[in-house]
Structure 1
């Protein structure tokens, strides 16, 4: 028997097995009236209502619905209300500028655009057939009492398109099928020990690789979702204490804020010997891993993956063979990217690039067949990361793509360079990532410019065109930039002085 795997499977199980259990505790401090605590039965009702509203609007199966929002119960519900009945969710990074959001809406061909109340101004600049402000327009989105039209479920259909910054100035839309997302969530949930006693804190933005699949994994197991809107270390600790949180996902920068807050926390650290934190985005320093385990008393788990892999490729988690080792050695071992997840196959090519095969690699890039063919050449996904596989474990040693990962977010060096070069005083610019304990990598601009322009002016100029996290945090002026005989920038030479003494060229 063949039965298609779809996103709605996770919701259907939760509403069948755990209808009266609290599903979501919404963020209490937000511009739209919070939903408070809602049950799985109510989550199912609202998802069906949203799907029926899309029916009434004439939005067909396969149409794209873009949502630009910080973490909220409304956004979490939309994963099911949109994808569960055959439409395609496009979760957009709320930190982007209106121009960047507009590009994604146009490129994806979205027929519906829903935005956070704080971002309602973007609707003035973006044309879309149907537009809504979350909270303000709830009676238009979630008030239908009709049953949504049935969908002939297809696991090969696109469920989400997630835009990622990479090696080009324009973001690429990563097409994830229902099968991609189903397998990722199931394998990730299993290997991360997700069960019906879990309380999950959404410190990870839901737009980011679909919250790494945990909206689905937690829902399918009947766990509780705790929504947090603003990331603050002390507030994270308070939420953990208040809701008996058992796990969360975070970039190293978020972990750093928690560790900072723990230094002044009064009393026992919340979640000691209970919480597990899953970290990805960049390999954290070994001392950070040691502090998480010692100072917080939390289990540390590291994964490696990309938007294009849904994201799980590898996981590094404590194993019985390491129990007798010293904590420092355990932390070193946990600092590796990890062993392949179930169903994932890894290898490195002759240039040391990590290649991956799995059931949750992307279907392709939206409306970009050339990039798709390049990324999936020879039926392997080309990660763009350099690495070493030893004793079954992957260690990431270098980033071959022209991309910087800062605070867990991808930044295209080319995009930042384009912004810098649009300033009349800039003659040459190279953007690189340099190691930083808080952000992982710091966006740094090396600039050849006419006299009179300051670093502050160039950063402000970039802010007019780019989201804040993409802008240089540091600008250094040079007389010239190292180039090859053919005029190509030699970024590895530009990066080398900053990374000297580091065992690998990522941080």
Structure 2
């Protein structure tokens, strides 16, 4: 058993700033009191301790309060990606068997029709029920469930426990250090593991979170110049926007700014050199939803000596390369207390690990010094602006159109987003690109939309008729 993070932090540093958003701020004591009130209001609408609840909203303080309220109730939070289509959300809601959806008022139009839900506003204005808040949480208690696309095209609901999140946060702080005045700027979505892990670190470390509900290069760059924040999580596309803004303004990062954690795919060497010249320390990381954020991180002082590396595993974590070839390249496998215990719904029967090791499907190698190099983020995975896109998911949608006989999707390089998906189709009957795009828009999030659709007579396949996506571009 471990302490309820919210209660414990409010007890230890009640008057320390916990959260800032625009011109507002809250202490840890205020966050605790507000989240307890919200938890009682959830009881008032019938939510019970331990219920599985879906939650959706923009990254604003209201969402933080609602998440902390659910944590007080020891609910399992299904974190809904507000960028998904209603059809994609419907799959996750059915698969997760969440008892209801707690949703921000501004997002109600995103929900599938006739979905059981409660608006944030109705909860905030509602009555309170009786509640006894547990002061301790078991390590194996599921805190969050986040859906990640699978190679089958069906997203998997990944469980993350108290122990997973706690191990991840502890390993991170042993790597980057800690000062009471540290402030983590959060401009990544709180429904992602990268965003939620910032909240966890805040509760465990006692550091302030400076929250943005959307990425604002100008405002964020000013925070970095002024030294108002010390840490930030980015992906390559957001890092480049900050670099561009600083360069345009002929400004550098404040000496008070300490570190950018860059995940979601490799960071171009050019970005690292530009960041270095702007006094901006960047640490590349490697992790996934199944590992509650970071598994390996490259120290900023090693960035130019180990270009392209994701660094070494953090303190409690282990990495090995399974079935390496003569170049030492093979599947990246991970072991540690941050690894998910498993999945829910359709994939509840699937073991997350084999003999204690998570087989990532990613290909990589370790150099003679133990630094990890990720060669391919899974054979078919497309990473676009930090978002993972699986071709099979897009193919499955395209194949439901009556005009489409065969579909193959792969990623192509894109200066802004890193990669974007394109589709190759064999048709049953004539159809226009515009009609197919309109069809996809009803079923896919915008970032998963094929940026180009190409008609062809046949798709490359092997002897067993398996689609060879790597040969599509050829």
TM-score (norm 2): 0.91
Greater Cα offset, 199-208 or 58-67: 58-67
Provide the secondary structure at the position in 2 that maps to 1:331: coil
Match of 2:454 among 476, 482, 485: 476
| 8 Å Cα contact 1:161-1:175 kept in structure 2 | yes
- Aligned match of 1:187: 171
Matches for 1:314-393 after TM superposition, within 5 Å = 314-319=296-301, 330-331=303-304, 333-350=306-323, 352-368=330-346, 372-373=350-351, 375-390=352-367, 391-393=369-371
User: Using a 3 Å threshold, how does the CA distance of structure 1 residues 244 and 334 change in structure 2: closer, same or farther?
Assistant: farther
| 8 Å Cα contact 2:287-2:295 kept in structure 1 | yes
Tell me the alpha carbon deviations over residues 107-166 of structure 1, each in whole angstroms, 9 at most, x when there is no partner. 2222231222221124561432xx2223464223xx749654437632112111111112
User: Using a 3 Å threshold, how does the CA distance of structure 1 residues 309 and 223 change in structure 2: closer, same or farther?
Assistant: same
- Aligned match of 1:18: 13
| 8 Å Cα contact 2:72-2:134 kept in structure 1 | no
Work out the CA distance in 1 between the residues paired with 2:114 and 2:279: 47
Matches for 1:53-92 after TM superposition, within 5 Å = 53-92=41-80
Work out the CA distance in 1 between the residues paired with 2:42 and 2:268: 46
Work out the CA distance in 2 between the residues paired with 1:71 and 1:146: 28
Greater Cα offset, 299-308 or 406-415: 406-415
Gaps of 5+ in 1: 29-35, 323-329, 498-507
Work out the CA distance in 1 between the residues paired with 2:407 and 2:375: 25
C-alpha RMSD of the superposition? 2.4
Provide the secondary structure at the position in 1 that maps to 2:355: helix
Work out the CA distance in 2 between the residues paired with 1:108 and 1:120: 19
Match of 2:119 among 112, 133, 136: 133
After TM superposition, give the deviation of residue 228 of structure 1 in Å.
0.7
Gaps of 5+ in 2: 325-329
Work out the CA distance in 1 between the residues paired with 2:190 and 2:25: 18
Matches for 1:22-33 after TM superposition, within 5 Å = 22-27=17-22
Matches for 1:242-321 after TM superposition, within 5 Å = 244-265=228-249, 268-271=251-254, 274-294=257-277, 296-319=278-301
- Aligned match of 1:169: 153
User: Using a 3 Å threshold, how does the CA distance of structure 1 residues 399 and 23 change in structure 2: closer, same or farther?
Assistant: closer
User: Using a 3 Å threshold, how does the CA distance of structure 1 residues 312 and 431 change in structure 2: closer, same or farther?
Assistant: same
Tell me the alpha carbon deviations over residues 227-250 of structure 1, each in whole angstroms, 9 at most, x when there is no partner. 111213223213445670111101
Tell me the alpha carbon deviations over residues 376-399 of structure 1, each in whole angstroms, 9 at most, x when there is no partner. 123210101000011211101123
After TM superposition, give the deviation of residue 370 of structure 1 in Å.
6.3
Provide the secondary structure at the position in 2 that maps to 1:372: coil
Work out the CA distance in 2 between the residues paired with 1:85 and 1:334: 45
